[in-house]
């Protein structure tokens, strides 16, 4: 049959963006935001953030202002399906009517997952995961929209999860990170406070910063990119290039810290507006699931090989990203200018002490796991918008090259 579609993505939609508050001290408004959202008893969902004092502070603010609260603090990096279900049980058994997620993407996504589970009679969270096949836009119609409010208090400058509609949850039964896109899942309000963000340890600042950058460069080269997302992503690339080193090595540098908060939020908004992630996130999710390595680090070690793979499909976009990183590309050919982006990225990764590839040596990945990478990527969202079409043999070759 003749394919009558004129373009691959002929009509594009944005998602409504919820309230985002960014600024020094904004976490102190958490109780006011709960009250505005109608929350009388909040479940705090978090990894615990031990040693920072942040959770005690949030509890204190809520209690002092008349918002009762309970805490679920067993979320881990790469949040697992059973953690979402445990958090849901606590939510239900303690009579909470809203959620306050405190942390980075793991805490926010676990909270989104529990709200979706609660809206859908306690269904196993990954039964609502979205794929290319069967078509997710049809599948999501089966689920009741989320109405439980979520106040997301950010403590990292990385994920953008505090303002996006999707949640990435590890399905431990099939060893894959899967995306939930249940309607209404976007947090009600995001509070991004540099006072909290600057408490990250150095390596987390670096890894989460590269995650922000990965949202930007993957969104910029994505086939699903639109002018809204392109503008945001170029802005993120510029800000990260100018501030991530300074922020990583001195989190008390208030200008760099504040700038990374803006970049992180802009990257999240770009994803939310429809800019997609691609091969780096697609393969990175599986690396995180198999080895439990940090999401940002997984993206970082896959950046160069993943985007070298994409480079021939859209060299002009890489050239534009090199320019956004401060490179003078005048007089260069398109391919020479595109190469400059890779030079800049290699320098940035080296400055942040991150080694590309070497997946076996760095993370203990096993040869027999490579097939699992390809199978998982084959039906994930991430290859849909990736600028180079999916090809099993080519992906296999890419992975062999960085094993
Ligand atoms: Fe990410």
Residue 15 is classified by DSSP as P
pLDDT of residue 76: 97
> Ligand 1: distance of its center to the CA of 166 in Å?
11
What is the DSSP pairing of strand 189-192 with strand 150-154? parallel
> Ligand 1: distance of its center to the CA of 137 in Å?
22
- Calculate mean pLDDT across residues 11-17: 82
Separation CA 403–CA 400 (nearest Å): 5
Q: Is residue 209 pLDDT above 90, yes or no?
A: yes
Which residues, by Cβ under 5 Å, contact ligand 1, an ion?
Answer: 211
> Ligand 1: distance of its center to the CA of 214 in Å?
7
> Ligand 1: distance of its center to the CA of 168 in Å?
9
What's the whole-model pTM score?
Answer: 0.96
Please give the mean pLDDT across all residues of the chain: 95
> Ligand 1: distance of its center to the CA of 299 in Å?
7
pLDDT of residue 8: 75
What digits encode the pLDDT tens for the residues 175-201?
999 999 999 999 999 999 999 999 999
Helix axes 254-272, 202-221, angle to 10 degrees: 40
What digits encode the pLDDT tens for the residues 104-139?
999 999 999 999 999 999 999 999 999 888 888 889
> Ligand 1: distance of its center to the CA of 333 in Å?
31
- Burial, 242: exposed, middle or buried (Cβ in 10 Å; 0-12, 13-18, 19+)? middle
> Ligand 1: distance of its center to the CA of 215 in Å?
6
Domains of the chain: 19-197 (3.40.50.1970), 202-402 (1.20.1090.10)
> Ligand 1: distance of its center to the CA of 143 in Å?
25
- Calculate mean pLDDT across residues 277-284: 96
376, two tokens: 């998982």
What digits encode the pLDDT tens for the residues 234-274?
999 999 999 999 999 999 999 999 999 999 999 999 999 88
> Ligand 1: distance of its center to the CA of 1 in Å?
38
> Ligand 1: distance of its center to the CA of 402 in Å?
20
Lowest pLDDT segment from 33-47, 253-267, 319-333, 365-379: 365-379
Percent of the chain with pLDDT over 90: 89
> Ligand 1: distance of its center to the CA of 281 in Å?
6
């Amino acid at each position: 049959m003749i394919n009558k579609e004129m373009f691959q993505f002929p009509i594009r939609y944005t998602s409504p963006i919820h309230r985002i508050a960014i600024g020094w001290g904004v976490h102190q408004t958490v109780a006011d935001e709960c009250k505005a959202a109608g929350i009388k008893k909040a479940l705090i969902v978090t990894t615990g953030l031990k040693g920072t004092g942040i959770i005690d502070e949030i509890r204190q603010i809520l209690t002092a202002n008349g918002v009762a609260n309970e805490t679920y603090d067993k979320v881990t990096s790469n949040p697992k399906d059973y953690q979402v279900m445990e958090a849901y049980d606590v939510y239900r058994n303690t009579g909470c009517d809203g959620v306050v997620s405190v942390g980075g993407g793991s805490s926010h996504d676990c909270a989104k997952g529990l709200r979706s589970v609660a809206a859908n009679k306690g269904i196993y969270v990954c039964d609502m995961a979205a794929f290319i096949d069967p078509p997710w836009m049809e599948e999501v119609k089966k689920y009741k929209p989320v109405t439980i409010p979520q106040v997301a208090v950010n403590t990292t400058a990385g994920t953008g999860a505090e303002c996006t509609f999707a949640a990435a949850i590890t399905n431990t039964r099939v060893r894959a990170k899967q995306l939930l896109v249940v309607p209404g899942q976007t947090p009600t309000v995001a509070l991004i406070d540099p006072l909290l963000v600057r408490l990250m340890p150095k390596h987390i600042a670096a890894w989460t910063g590269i995650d922000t950058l990965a949202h930007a460069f993957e969104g910029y080269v994505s086939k699903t990119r639109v002018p809204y997302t392109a503008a945001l992503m170029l802005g993120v690339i510029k800000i990260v290039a100018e501030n991530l080193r300074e922020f990583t090595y001195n989190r008390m540098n208030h200008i760099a810290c504040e700038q990374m908060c803006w970049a992180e939020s802009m990257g999240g908004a770009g994803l939310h507006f429809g800019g997609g992630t691609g091969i780096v996130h697609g393969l990175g999710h599986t690396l995180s699931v198999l080895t439990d390595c940090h999401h940002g680090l997984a993206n970082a070690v896959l950046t160069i090989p993943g985007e070298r793979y994409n480079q021939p499909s859209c060299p002009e976009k890489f050239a534009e990203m090199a320019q956004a990183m401060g490179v003078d590309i005048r007089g260069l050919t398109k391919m020479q200018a595109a190469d400059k982006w890779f030079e800049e990225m290699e320098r940035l990764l080296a400055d942040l002490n991150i080694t590309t590839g070497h997946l076996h040596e760095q993370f203990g990945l096993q040869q027999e796991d490579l097939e699992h990478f390809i199978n998982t990527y084959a039906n994930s969202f991430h290859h849909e918008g990736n600028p180079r079409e999916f090809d099993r043999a080519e992906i296999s070759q890419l992975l062999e090259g960085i094993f």
